[in-house]
Structure 1
Amino acid sequence: MNDGLTPVRLPANQPPRFYRGGAAIAALRGDEPKEFGPEDWVASCTTLHGERADGLTTLPDGTLLRDAVASAPGNWLGDAHVRAYGADTALLVKLLDAGQRLPVHCHPSDEFAAAHYGSRYGKTEAWIVVGAEEGSTVHIGFAEDRDADTVADWVARQDSAAMLEALNPVRVSTGDTVFVPAGVPHAIGAGIFIVELQQPTDLSVTLEWQGFLDDEAGAHLGIGFEKALGCVDRHGWAHRLDELVHRGPATGDLLDQPDFFRAERLTGGAALDASFGVLVVLDGTGVLHTEKAGDIPLEKGDTFAVPHAAGESTVDGDVAAIRCRPPVS
């Protein structure tokens, strides 16, 4: 079993999803595209909701990453992280390529998830836009305050037009980042390719489920909409979108949400502290020089799980990458 001493190059991990996409993931990795392969769950110790194994990352030696981390948590995660979170990466990273508009949905907070879904984590998330067709749009947060009865009525009637119109449309371009706190309703538009960081669950309350999901139960995850809609942030966001959307491109820190996750854009010359991290190589070639695990070649399309035990490192070469990290411990 992998002992968590050396960075591990990861194969693609594309569990079945209900929407189309994935061409950009295939192009990045040099793979054949799948019609319904819009998400690559990178270094995942998280399963699809209600599933036993779908979503989990299998390492090249056949071991589940989840099991490898459990067998050597200090090596993989560092002692401070283990004290705070146990043998749990506390992070899920995805490559997400939307081949169609996603439905209007939101995610529960930690408190709501604990009370109603028996989960330690809710699902705050963030998107780093790494590719976008011209005019690409996300819809995020209600533009103005909405009362509970109005939202419940939209959901009961499955009024997609009303739900989408109530959200703030935001044009995005490569390099932008979007922070999505738990509860904030949102929909990603077609033609957008993102690196997504999120808390490690698959909990989504799908307000606009008709035409996307097989049944209503999958939309509220079995607790009924009367309860599930209690997780929706109904506040207006039109005048504070700058809290959510940040324009790029940039190097260095892209996301610094210490309670949830962190991300940096790396180029040659970057110096990195010791940390568990998920590395996504977006372009070029280079080398990750690690303090304790030697030199690791980097190439466009590579994804790595980098253990804390590899030590400090530097990046060399004409390469562009994103390092994703768990919350601060």
Structure 2
Amino acid sequence: MNSPDAALGTSPVWLPANQPLQFYAGGSGIVALRGAGNARLDHGPEDWVASTTTRFGQPTDGLTRLDDGQWLRDAVRLHPENWLGRSHATSFGADPAVLVKLLDAGQRLPVHCHPSNEFARAHMNSHYGKTEAWIVVGTPADGGQVHIGFTGDVSASTVADWVAEQDTAAMLSALNPVTVRAGDTVFVPAGLPHAIGAGVFIVELQQPTDLSVTLEWKDFLDSEAGGHLGFGFDVVLGCVDRSGWDAGRLASIVRHTEDAGPVTDLLGPDAAAFFRAQRIRGGAALDPSFSVLVVLDGSGTLSTGQNSVPLRKGDTYVLPHRAGESIVDGDVTAIRCLPPEVPQ
């Protein structure tokens, strides 16, 4: 149980699972990580951690609720400097500017992509698009498969035909199959078509929207309209990256980062304008920042100037900027997810 003043944004806040209903199957990986009493299996493949973002078209679905019943989104708006720090709040407003999910694909996800900031502002009445990144934390024993980027340049008319005909075989065969394993990361720029394979479990960082252009909507969504979000495929297909991604380009976004010490940067400089992520182990010293901590294994403690909280496998915490510097102790492995760098 958190302290009664958790909404003020002065100390770490433990969070239960937050699994809005999705159209695809999954959730066993989340249950295995978080525990059967703190997660659901029935179409709960995503745990939206410390979310101030709603599902597309929904007023509150997807938001994180604090112990006192208040939405985290509203707490951040009431105390932005406590939660986010003055520099972040000056640049981004009372908005963490990042959404973190645990995503456990119980089936292959459809081929889809996301708009850029510029496209979302021009066509979707949204300040943010949806660049994202995946930190792979679980796969089948022989690795998991994801599909990323077209193997060669594709014309706009070809993509439009695939979508109109719902030619799944053509879409998948045009994408690069990539085998991923725990410890790999994938940076997914806006517009890049992709599909996550069954059995892949990730910590996902993304810009704070639920904007997905679902090219392969048949047998996944209730209607074609869900694929284009009501904007029309004639509009939204303009956001698709139709360029070819060869091995060299793929190598720039699919990485495996070995531990470099208690704190290891996972996503590199290209992602920093959108979000940042670190692998954390015992002995890590963390600077003050709004951040989301996902404990993957082991146990330990997180100590701030005034508080010490336990860290156990499956725990998720949101850390306000006001909590200050913190130290992680113990035999523990966690992922720390952070907002974008503040522009200089």
Given that 1:176 and 1:249 are in contact with CA atoms closer than 8 Å, whether structure 2 keeps it comes out as: no
Q: 1:258 offset after TM fit, Å?
A: 1.6
Matched residue, 1:161: 169
Matched, 1:261 2:275: yes
Name the aligned partner's letter for residue 75 of structure 2: A
Q: 1:249 offset after TM fit, Å?
A: 4.5
- Work out the CA distance in 2 between the residues paired with 1:187 and 1:195: 15
Q: 1:60 offset after TM fit, Å?
A: 1.7
Name the aligned partner's letter for residue 254 of structure 1: L
Matched, 1:273 2:287: yes
- Work out the CA distance in 1 between the residues paired with 2:72 and 2:147: 34
Equivalent of 1:246 in 251, 255, 265:
255
**3-state SS of paired residue (1:255):** coil
Equivalent of 1:188 in 170, 177, 196:
196
**3-state SS of paired residue (1:288):** strand
Matched residue, 2:11: 6
Equivalent of 2:212 in 204, 226, 231:
204
Matched, 1:217 2:225: yes
Q: 1:84 offset after TM fit, Å?
A: 0.3
Q: 1:113 offset after TM fit, Å?
A: 0.5
| Structure 2: unaligned runs, 5 residues or longer | none
- Work out the CA distance in 1 between the residues paired with 2:66 and 2:32: 22
**3-state SS of paired residue (1:84):** helix
Name the aligned partner's letter for residue 171 of structure 1: T
User: For 1:166-181, what aligned pairs fall within 5 Å after superposition?
Assistant: 166-181=174-189
Matched residue, 1:112: 119
- Work out the CA distance in 2 between the residues paired with 1:248 and 1:191: 21
Matched residue, 1:294: 307
Q: 1:250 offset after TM fit, Å?
A: 3.2
Matched residue, 2:129: 122
Bigger shift: 236-245 or 95-104? 236-245
Given that 1:130 and 1:175 are in contact with CA atoms closer than 8 Å, whether structure 2 keeps it comes out as: yes
How many residue pairs get matched? 328
Given that 1:175 and 1:250 are in contact with CA atoms closer than 8 Å, whether structure 2 keeps it comes out as: no
User: For 1:12-27, what aligned pairs fall within 5 Å after superposition?
Assistant: 12-27=17-32
Q: 1:115 offset after TM fit, Å?
A: 1.0
Matched, 1:63 2:36: no
| Percent of paired sites with the same residue | 66
Given that 1:11 and 1:60 are in contact with CA atoms closer than 8 Å, whether structure 2 keeps it comes out as: no
- Work out the CA distance in 1 between the residues paired with 2:323 and 2:29: 30
Matched residue, 1:328: 341
Calculate the TM-score normalised by the size of structure 1. Answer: 0.98
Give deviations 1:119-162, integer Å, cap 9, x for gaps. Answer: 00000000000001123100000011111011111011000000
- Work out the CA distance in 2 between the residues paired with 1:98 and 1:164: 17
Name the aligned partner's letter for residue 138 of structure 2: G
Give deviations 1:244-271, integer Å, cap 9, x for gaps. Answer: 1002453510123221000000000011
Matched residue, 2:323: 310
- Work out the CA distance in 1 between the residues paired with 2:308 and 2:146: 39
Q: 1:86 offset after TM fit, Å?
A: 0.4
Q: CA RMSD in A?
A: 1.0
Matched, 1:43 2:50: yes
Name the aligned partner's letter for residue 30 of structure 1: G
Matched residue, 1:284: 298
Bigger shift: 6-15 or 238-247? 238-247
Matched residue, 1:82: 89
Matched, 1:144 2:157: no
- Work out the CA distance in 2 between the residues paired with 1:182 and 1:282: 28
Equivalent of 1:93 in 75, 89, 100:
100
**3-state SS of paired residue (2:280):** strand
**3-state SS of paired residue (1:264):** strand
**3-state SS of paired residue (2:36):** coil
